[in-house]
Each structure stands twice: as C-alpha cells, then as structure tokens.
Amino acid sequence: MKIILAPALCLAMVLPVYAGDTVDANNTVNISTDISPSITVVDPANKANASDAANTSNSVSSSNSVPVITNALTVDQATQAAINASSDLKNYSDSVDTNNESIDKLKEQFNTETDYSLVLNLAVQIMQAQTANVQTSNNANLAKEKLRISVMNLFASIINAQNALKLNDQGLDIQKRQLTIAKVKFNLGYISKLELDTQTNSYSQKLASRQTQQIAIDNAFISLNKLMGTSLNRQYNLILDVPAFQPFGDVNLSGAVDTALRTDPSIINQQGNVDVANYKIKMYDPDVSTQSLDDLNRSLGQAQRSLSDAQGNVSQKVVSAYNNIKNEEVQYKNAVLALDALNIQLPVTQKQLELGKITQLDLDQLLYQIAQQQETIRSLTVSHGINVIQFNEPATL
C-alpha cells in the first residue's frame, strides 16, 4: 500500500489583515439634532482633521469617580488596540507556532520511518495537525473581524446612552417647570394633593434614573477600556463613521446565503473535520489500524452532522440579519414621518406662542419631542449601517 500525505489544505478564510489597516467609511452623513450629538461623522476628504474636530466637540459627562479625558478615539484605533490586547489572539498565534513545529517533526519522522503501521499513523497525524492549523488561523482572522464589530457596537451603545442622558436632562427641565406650575395650582386649589404627589414622584424617579444612566455610561467606557487593554478610568470623544442611510434594496437572499455557506469559518472548519474523518477511512488498514472501520464511519457521520448543523445555523443567521435590516428600514421610515409631522406642527406652535395662546413651556415640550425623534432617526441610521456591514460580512454575524 502506497501512503500519500493529504494535499495541502485550502480551507483558509479570506479576511482583511490587521497590521495598520483601516476601515474606509465613504458617503458619511451627519444627522443634525437640536441636542449636541455625541457622534462625529467625518468627511473622508478631510479625515486627517478628524481628531481636531473631535477634540472641539462633545465632551463626555462623567461621575466623580471617572475623570473626563477628551481625546478622540476612532473605531480603527480602538479595534487595533483591542487586537493588540487580545489574549485569545495571542493564544491562537502560539497554537499556530506549536502546530507548525509539530508538523515539521511529524513530516521529518514520516520521511525516515520504515515501520508500516507507524507511517500510516503519522500520515493521519499530519493531516489532523494541518487541519487544526488552518482552523486556528481561520478562528484568529474571524476574532479580529468580530472585535471590530464589537467596538462599533460598543461605540454606538455609548453614544446612544450619552444622547439619552442629554435628552433626559432636557425632559427633567420640562418636568421641573411643570412641577412648579403644579405646586402653584395646588396652593390655589385647582388640583388635588394626589395629583401634585403624582407629578412630584414622577420627577423624583426621572431624577434618580439620571444617575443610573450615567453609571451605565461609565461602565460602558470601562468595558471599552478593558477590551483595548488600557486604563479603565479613561473616557473619550468617540468618532463613529457611518454611511448615509440607504435602503438595502432588492437582495438575492439565496445568493447571499450561498456565499456565506462557502466562506463562513465555522463551515470551513467543520468541512476540515469531515476531510480528516474521510482521510482516516482512506488510510484504514485492518491489520494495523487501532480503530475499527465502524468507529471511523461513526466519526465521519458525526462530523457530517456537525457540518450540516453549521450550515443550517449560518443560513438562519443570514436570513435573520436580512429581516432585521428590513425591519429597521420600516422603523426608520415611520420615524421620519413622525418627525415630519412634528416639524409641520412647529411653526403653528411658534405662532400660537407669539399670539399668547400658549406658554413657552408648551413650545419647549414640542421641541423636546422633535429632539427625541431626531435621536431615534440617528440611532437607527447607525444601527442600520452596522447591520448592513455584518450582512455583507456574514462571518461576523
């Protein structure tokens, strides 16, 4: 029986290389709101000035326990820092080095070994080690890409929380003024003690929730710093570049699923396990093999079922991601319509104020509703942009 080593594996997943690489963001757009946005969207033509722009805008509020540091931080910078700090990536690198050394030793032994049973076993070991090496490399590349998505989502969540806090302060100001009016009405006998107490409790609860919101922001920055392997008490002006909102349009969903099935590392890795199982059967010799043919066939069946499960999971992820994007587009359309309705109401309300038919508080309440709707549109734009990126890079789903 002539023993031939398995051919060089071609299971590597093609993903960007991180050495100083960047993620381009073209056609960016700034969602304008009445509240100071915590998102800085940079024109690619002037991207060199991004840090200067960020340093002059959007200071990050903080509790007394966390100092404010107004350095600008981009997704690319945070991602590279997270890659450099990742113990998983260091472990992957060590595993590849160890596997390479093992493969070299196995090949050297294979070339000099004369015992038939040992040669047979060495051929299988080399195949397994090669497969493990490719799988480790795939996992390392995927981990880098997932770190980038994690950073983007963390940036988005912090920015959302910061803007929610600003809106909360705007709402608190309105409630405080309403409470002052309620106290006057109570003293004049126009409302009951129960009505006054209800408004007082509502204001107190909203005031207490502000501290909870700030703590959540501080904790999110701690998570970001931990991911980047830096001091936990640092905060930044976050720069998150997002594409202009564009409806996803018609998509060949079955084609997208097929592409994901060909490129997803979980499937590539499971296919490697199937190849190893098949190779063991090919190398089976009843006179020297330590496993029975039935055992080898059962192992092959298990590997094939795992591959089938992985394919099903990937297909489901792609379809779910597409449905989520389309659902966000419906939400975005409804939010724009709601904002349009409020903007139509705005000049009417301003005129009523001029005529003395309403108070400044009534106008401020409408402006607050407009700010809330604008923030909804901004956050949907960011979420939609990130989800589209993941759909186009299905391994990160």
What DSSP string runs through 150-215? HHHHHHHHHHHHHHHHHHHHHHHHHHHHHHHHHHHHHHTTSS-HHHHHHHHHHHHHHHHHHHHHHH
pLDDT in tens, 229-250: 999 999 999 999 988 899 998 8
Q: For the domain that residue 264 is a member of, what is the CATH number?
A: 1.20.1600.10
Q: Based on the domain organization, do 140 and 285 belong to the same domain?
A: no
Q: Based on the domain organization, do 210 and 250 belong to the same domain?
A: no
Does this model's pTM top 0.75? Answer: yes
Among 210, 241, 272, the domain-final residue is: 241
Q: Based on the domain organization, do 156 and 268 belong to the same domain?
A: no
Q: Based on the domain organization, do 40 and 175 belong to the same domain?
A: yes
Write out the two tokens for 79: 């991602």
Q: Based on the domain organization, do 220 and 260 belong to the same domain?
A: no
Gap between the Cα atoms of 77 and 58, Å rounded? 19
Among 188, 215, 241, the domain-final residue is: 241
Q: Based on the domain organization, do 133 and 164 belong to the same domain?
A: yes
pLDDT at residue 69 in the model: 56
Q: Based on the domain organization, do 167 and 260 belong to the same domain?
A: no
Q: Based on the domain organization, do 93 and 144 belong to the same domain?
A: yes
Q: Which residue has the tokens 């720069």?
A: 239
Query: Does residue 396 lie in a domain region?
Result: yes
Positions in the chain short of pLDDT 50: 8-64, 66-67
pLDDT at residue 244 in the model: 86
Query: Does residue 17 lie in a domain region?
Result: no
CB 263 within 8 A of CB 396: no
Among 218, 241, 264, the domain-final residue is: 241
Q: Which residue has the tokens 């759909």?
A: 391
Q: Based on the domain organization, do 138 and 265 belong to the same domain?
A: no
Nearest to 257 by CA among 325, 303, 308, 322: 322
Q: Based on the domain organization, do 320 and 366 belong to the same domain?
A: yes
> What domain count does the chain have?
2
Structural domain boundaries, residue 152: 32-241
pLDDT at residue 243 in the model: 83
